[in-house]
Structure 1
Amino acid sequence: MKFKSLFVFGKSFMYYKLRSKSIGYPKVLSTEKSINYLLNHPNISLARIGDGEIRWASGIENGSGFQSNDEKLAKELTEVMTHHNSNLKLAVPDVFSNAEKKYTLGNALAWIVFLVRYREQWVKLISKEYQYLDANLSRLYIDRKNKKKSPKLFSLLQQLWEGKNILTVEGAFTLLGYKNELFDNAKSISRVVVPAKDAYSIVDDIEESVRQLIDSGQVDVVLLSVGPTATVLADRLANTRIPVYDVGHFDIEFEWMKMGVNKRTRIPAKYVNEIDIAEKSKGKENSAELKGIMDTPLKKQVIKQFV
């Protein structure tokens, strides 16, 4: 089995190198330049596209556990990726060339195999002419080869909401900024809490609520952490007066950096999908002490609840 896996990785790596040279690859700004782009364009919103979004858009089973495949979602994700909203910047991971130099070996190999296996889907949905930002601007630690830069990158990312009134849109067990310093530099924080699973099923209701809150004039920036629903919402809300950022796993990455760990680790009271889904697939019970936002001091920040 090990020999077979090594053969698959080796074959994929060779194809990846040859393919990137022969047909080229998307233009992706570095992580630091991507964050600086957003800082220098405060009216531009961000939608991130990763392997999950490619799978959802293509109808490929992804086993995410928090969002089922959905034809309407697939169609909308495809539109987001291909119509290029002028008020929105799309981001893809900076893994299309030399991934092994930027990321840990395991992560780089996983991306290489994915890009080779699903190359037709990538070619169909990703443009070689468009200038993408780096989707990994929200994944600043665990898979990075050089983790010494992570604190600087997090400090840079935090400037996006410095002195501002934040509105988060997050799953019930996400708890962005809970028991850490991510939002210490913000003026205020309010929250919209959505279902931890299949949030896209009520995406219209979420959008309407967020628009009303933006129109109230009490929100300066919106941070989305709701899987592929965040990609869709960032596109839908990009025409508002404030930036809307799809920030994904940035809170969990920040926690791992603080812990100084080198592998994905449980975070007390928070849902870490990449661990919980893997354990569920092995028939294990979730051992994390998960707390919904309404069971924490953060509940006073919740101004709209869908769960």
Structure 2
Amino acid sequence: MSRILKKIKESIRRYTYLISIKKYPVKVLSLEDTVSRIIDEKLSVSRIGDGEFRWMMMDDPGDTFEKNSKSLSENLIDVIKSRDSKLLVCLPDVYDGLDKYKPEVKVFWNREISKELKKYYHYLDRNYDYGNSFFSRPYISYKNQDSSNIFRLIKNIWNERDILIVEGSKTRFGIGNDLLSSANNINRILVPAVNAYSELESIYEAIEEYVKEKEDSKELLVLLAIGPTATILAKRITELNNIQAIDIGHLDIEYEWFLRGSLDKELIPGKYVNESKSSKFVDLEIKDETYINQIWKDISK
């Protein structure tokens, strides 16, 4: 494609993007306001991104870690329609301008919004203040990559809290860095690294079992890092167990990239990086006794 033709296409997408966000307005909180609400109101979080919209619409999700199904679609639609006062539904902050993002990110969202926002709007509520789903992705996509303040704020979510992490078997959330250093106590349930939704009920039952063992489960914080299954479980845990549950997504990997000063989505040895442009996982034997002792249950096999 010639440079001139490419510029023409990009200009058309930018124009279509501007028309789309004017015709289909969406209100999304800032990163800071989102995290502040999560802390102050002890809100649970379900995040909806472009992948979740594709699963909802039964479109081809492409090369992902989760197979699509009618059940997955229906459960995600149920989440985005939720107005539970204890659950904050979050969307990407891409509906009022893209200047804060890197050029390649701007190109992606120009194209995505131009093509898909009309379809998205079928599921959205123009009167709802959505949280910002990028609170779990506060680094790699931004032009200004001084993310220290937002990471500092995020760490207050679990400050002096007991945490149950529900994660893929290769996720290893918070291992090898200080992301969770302010937490009181950490336990983990390991689930399949890919296609976790197929084990939705088993995962929920394991969480319920853990909650029943806790003497004061109301102070428990559940962090879910299992793709769209986390989006669904955050809502269910909040409704049925009255526990704060956060679909925390890629935050640990973003923090690793931030600490390294990464300019691209590079591999992190010993952790599953779904968005890596090369392989997704470089195995590294975990000998950390602290991590091993945190594993309360392993249902990943």
TM-score by length of 2: 0.92
List gaps (5 residues or longer) in structure 1.
Answer: 280-285
Instruction: Supply the distance in 2 between the matched residues of 1:171 and 1:181 (Cα, whole angstroms).
Output: 20
Instruction: Supply the distance in 1 between the matched residues of 2:212 and 2:25 (Cα, whole angstroms).
Output: 40
Please provide the CA RMSD for this pair.
1.7
Could you tell me which amino acid in structure 1 is paired with residue 228 of structure 2?
P
Match of 1:79 in 2: 78
Match of 2:139 in 1: 141
Q: Is the 8 A contact 2:272 2:280 kept in 1?
A: no
Match of 1:241 in 2: 242
1:238 is displaced (CA, Å) by: 1.1
Instruction: Supply the distance in 1 between the matched residues of 2:211 and 2:106 (Cα, whole angstroms).
Output: 39
1:50 is displaced (CA, Å) by: 0.4
Match of 1:125 in 2: 123
Instruction: Supply the distance in 2 between the matched residues of 1:163 and 1:273 (Cα, whole angstroms).
Output: 30
1:122 is displaced (CA, Å) by: 0.9
**2:60 matched to 1:65?**
no
Q: Matched residues, percent identical?
A: 32
Alignment of 1:36-75 (within 5 A): 36-42=36-42, 44-75=43-74
CA offsets, 1:148-205, max 9 Å, x none? 2x11101100101011111001001111011000111111110010001110011011
Task: Give SS of 2:267's match.
Answer: coil
Match of 1:115 in 2: 113
Q: Is the 8 A contact 1:222 1:245 kept in 2?
A: yes
Instruction: Supply the distance in 2 between the matched residues of 1:7 and 1:70 (Cα, whole angstroms).
Output: 38
**Residues 76, 288 of structure 1: alpha-carbon distance in 2 compared, 3 angstrom cutoff:** closer
Match of 1:228 in 2: 228
Pairs aligned (count): 294
Q: Is the 8 A contact 2:273 2:280 kept in 1?
A: no
Match of 2:197 in 1: 200
Q: Pick which of 2-11 and 241-250 moved more.
A: 2-11
Instruction: Supply the distance in 1 between the matched residues of 2:281 and 2:153 (Cα, whole angstroms).
Output: 31
**2:300 matched to 1:303?**
no
1:24 is displaced (CA, Å) by: 4.1
List gaps (5 residues or longer) in structure 2.
Answer: none
Match of 2:187 in 1: 190
1:121 is displaced (CA, Å) by: 2.2
**Residues 18, 233 of structure 1: alpha-carbon distance in 2 compared, 3 angstrom cutoff:** same
Task: Give SS of 2:190's match.
Answer: strand
Instruction: Supply the distance in 2 between the matched residues of 1:236 and 1:180 (Cα, whole angstroms).
Output: 30
Instruction: Supply the distance in 2 between the matched residues of 1:213 and 1:119 (Cα, whole angstroms).
Output: 40
Q: Pick which of 182-191 and 210-219 moved more.
A: 210-219
Alignment of 1:14-33 (within 5 A): 14-21=15-22, 23-33=23-33
1:9 is displaced (CA, Å) by: 2.4
